[in-house]
Chain A
Amino acid sequence: MSVIIRARDITKTFGREIKAVDGLSFTVEEGQVYGFLGQNGAGKSTTIRMLLTLITPGSGDIEIFGMNLPRNRKAILRRTGAIIERPDLYKYLTALENLRIFAKMSGLNLTDKVLMEHLAKIGLADRAHSKVKTYSQGMKQRLGIAAALVHNPDLIILDEPTNGLDPQGIADVRKLILHLSKDLKKTLLVSSHLLGEMEMIADSMLIIDKGKKIVEGPTAELLNPEKILVEIVTDNKEKAIAVLRTTKWSGSLTDATNGNIMVELHKANIPDLNSELVSNGVRIFSLRPKHSLEDYFLSVTKH
């Protein structure tokens, strides 16, 4: 599989102190849905804006389709479609007029018939002649996606595409992403706060925090049920932590702050862990396995 996006050590600082992105490196392979996760202010949008030349990196290199950015900006953008945060469109124009403008901006002179087909695909054909200011957030989102896809790009970058959508809208976007990836073989980079959604669509993912990479890898590997996070619930946390640090479990302890005790281990070792703690006088109320992406995300980005 060829690499579509390769970012090496990119950094962006705003002003003198705010380091939005700090030495971030990652690769997105062809045909992947690549999930981009992080809390608010983690640097996701800044990174996406750098990939789209909206923001100039302070340092580092970006290659897309094997071409250097920004040197080959036009050639790269010709093959890229994007939505950044809310897909704001010209509210005083109709959906058809909006789509015509963005097609022309991409160098395409599409007929109204073709544009209507695009609108039909996202279920807006019957509202094609309505002004966008009369649209709901979900309809605007769908139209934004149509505007991003009108020139049939190979790479699609969606920054928070489900923001402000109702459950049906979220399900529609998920379906669309999977259709673009599985049926049309497009490469997608998707950032989202809805981790459960990401778990369902992303092949690989990158979790960032404070502009730095926390972890990157295939979703299946990150959520490996064999190796799970276990939260220890006890009435004597200090003693439990002391036991863990002085036994073979010391390397497994991932978090011992803010009253949480998290241990990463194989499922089969949970009884041994329990015995060890109990034999050292630690009363255990429960050992809670945490293996969803949300748990994983919170555990790795906990401050």
Chain B
Amino acid sequence: MQLLRIELYKIFKRPRTFIAFGVITAIILLVQVAMKFGGEEYVGLVMSGLSGTFDAPAGQVLNGYFVCFIILNLLLIHVPILVALIAGDMISGEANMGTLRLLLTKPVSRVQLLLVKFFAAASYTLILLIWVAILSLLVSIWLFGTNELFVARGLEVNILSSSDILWRYIAAFGFAAVALITVASLAFMFSTFSDNSIGPIVACVSVIIVFTILTQLQIPFYDETVKPWLFTTHMLGWKGFFYVKGEQGVTIDGSIENSSAILKSGLILLCNTFVFLSVAIWHFNRKNILS
């Protein structure tokens, strides 16, 4: 715990750590301001595709839960980049500064040091996510109040009663935490291979871009062989908590349409994390420290 505290202390003493918090705060506030002053127009635009089959007053659709859903859709694709900024710097940053060799002359094993640094990166990720949750959910509820949540899925809309939403957000944030820790472990793995900070961050973001393109490609060969195992395929699994079962056109409170798919996605993300972390440990244990 002492070593973990040291690592967190170092992370939160660096000005660059707060860039991510600043960026997230700015994006969320911008969306909230936009929704405050032009939200009903935006809702009308979103719902226009559903006119004829569905009709609800924009004032009812626009509420804190809805705004939070919009923000998460926007943010959880980009937060990985912010996570990579810190996780990709955990080992390579120390090598770059020349402090890695000093740390490794202390009576701490390499595996211990690596795990402590990984947990520090994971803790940072969780703190960042909690900040996202506070701003996107709590502040949105404070600004827009609560009501039913309308979740559009193609030509279909799931309407969740306001008493059936909060737990879904908690679960969604939990799932997002698993997904972001997977990204952190990827950036962390690259960090053990480099002696400069930029390389691992660029490598991680490049992998995310390539994997995301592969995930979105509609080619049967990839659908069956590669896609099921890519972490990018499962990163947006948090949305599954907002897809509910219905009976005669009415959604069932407390239900999840496909809980096994969410579980499977979570497990694959954990497997990816395990693989990335194992590679990092294997490599770092054998690495000659020349920096």
Chain A residues packing against B (C-beta within 8 Å): 14, 49, 52-56, 73-75, 77-78, 80-93, 97, 101-102, 104-107, 109, 144, 147
Contact = CB atoms under 8 A, between A and B. Distances in A.
Contacts, number: 76
Contact of B107 (A74, A97, A147): A74
Given A74-B109, A101-B10, A105-B6, A54 B99 contact: no
B102 A92 contact: no
B107 A54 contact: no
A41 to B, nearest CB: 13
B261 interface: no
Contacts of B102: 82-84, 87-89, 102, 144, 147
Given A56-B288, A105-B3, A90 B105 contact: no
A87 B2 CA distance: 23
Given A92-B15, A93-B13, A105-B3, A54 B97 contact: no
B97 A90 contact: yes
Contact of A54 (B15, B98, B104): B104
B153 interface: no
Nearest to B96: A88
A90 B109 CA distance: 21
Given A54-B288, A54-B289, A56-B286, A77 B97 contact: no
Interface string B93-113: 000011101111111110000
For A85, A87, A88, the residue with the greatest tally of chain B CB atoms inside 10 Å of its CB is: A88
A144 B6 CA distance: 18
B104 A106 contact: no
Which 10 interchain pairs have the tightest Cβ spacing? A88-B98, A54-B289, A105-B106, A77-B107, A74-B107, A78-B107, A55-B288, A82-B105, A52-B105, A84-B101
Given A90-B10, A93-B13, A101-B10, A49 B289 contact: yes
B105 A107 contact: no
B85 to A, nearest CB: 16
A10 B255 CA distance: 66
B289 A106 contact: no
A52 B13 CA distance: 29
Contacts of B6: 101, 104-105
Contact of A105 (B98, B103, B286): B103
Interface of chain B, main secondary structure? loop
**Most interface-central of B2, B99, B103 (chain A CB within 10 A):** B99
A138 B10 CA distance: 24
Given A56-B286, A102-B102, A88 B97 contact: yes
Contacts of A97: 13
Contacts of A54: 101, 104-105, 288-289
A11 to B, nearest CB: 14
A88 B96 CA distance: 10
A102 B2 CA distance: 12
A295 B285 CA distance: 42
Interface string B13-26: 11100000000000
Interface residues of B, number: 24
Contact of A91 (B97, B106, B109): B97
Contacts of A144: 102
Contacts of A86: 98
B290 interface: yes
A77 B106 contact: yes
A107 B289 contact: no
Nearest to A159: B101
Interface string B149-166: 000000000000000000
Given A102-B102, A147-B102, A92 B14 contact: yes
A101 B289 CA distance: 20
Given A105-B6, A106-B106, A106-B107, A90 B101 contact: no
B105 A77 contact: yes
A75 B109 CA distance: 11
A147 B105 CA distance: 11
A52 B99 contact: no
A109 B3 CA distance: 12
A102 B98 contact: no
A104 B84 CA distance: 27
Nearest to B15: A92
15 contacts: A14-B288, A52-B105, A54-B288, A77-B106, A82-B102, A83-B102, A86-B98, A97-B13, A101-B10, A104-B2, A105-B3, A105-B6, A105-B103, A105-B106, A105-B108
Of B2, B10, B102, B290, most A-chain CB atoms within 10 Å: B102
A73 B105 contact: no
A78 B245 CA distance: 61
Given A82-B105, A90-B97, 17 more contacts: A49-B101, A49-B289, A49-B290, A52-B101, A55-B289, A55-B290, A56-B288, A73-B107, A73-B109, A74-B107, A89-B102, A90-B10, A90-B99, A92-B14, A101-B6, A106-B107, A109-B2
